[in-house]
Amino acid sequence: MAFNCGVSFGACLVRITRVDDNGNVIAGSNSYTTDKPISISVNPNIETGNAFSVRNGCGCSISRRKFPDTFNWWELSLQTATLEPQMIAFMLGAATIVDGADVVGVAFPSALACDEASPAVAFEFWSEHVVGSGLDATYPYFHWVFPSTVWQIGDNTFEEGPAEPTLNAFSQTNGNWGDGPYGDGPPDGEDISE
């Protein structure tokens, strides 16, 4: 049966997995899942290819050459409906502030030394796969996977109204993610590195 192309709708669920400097999943308590995303932006960072042009003394074009643009990485932004200190700590590589067994805050990390690697997480989210007026019967969700991302706190506003925490990131290649540690990677076992 051919895949029924449909519309990607919403941002339903986010899963964050801590990875080490080499992109391997960190042992222990290493993942966090939330169903509270408001929006996720995913934008390619594209470097414009060099262009060269040779003109004669009268301004007429003699020769020209344009090299292809180059994809560098994805730039991401996550806006959530609630303040989730455990998730923010995972994403920033920060220590948590606890009260007994409850995580009640985040100790924001200081600037990294030049020889320190930025903490990274795999970032995944699911959006609905809508066909017609409902979810596709066979594949109800699109699964978006970024196997290594580095996050920073974004611009946040506190005002009369609900606060919507924002974090920003960029992606990195991760050749050690494979098809993921959860058994819900590509059904053909294809490795994911970008």
16-73 confidence digits (pLDDT tens)? 999 999 999 998 888 999 999 999 999 999 999 999 999 999 999 999 999 999 999 9
Question: Tokens 């996050």, residue?
Answer: 151
Whole-angstrom Cα distance, residue 98 to residue 110?
A: 19
Each residue of 127-169: pLDDT tens digit? 999 998 999 998 999 999 999 999 999 999 889 989 899 999 9
First to last CA, the chain: 28
**Residues facing 34 on adjacent strands:** 14
pTM for the model stands at: 0.89
Identify each DSSP E strand in 110-173 by its residue range. Answer: 120-131, 134-135, 141-153, 166-171
Residue 122 CA to residue 146 CA, distance in Å, equals 6
SS3 content of the chain, % helix, strand, coil (to 5): 5, 50, 45
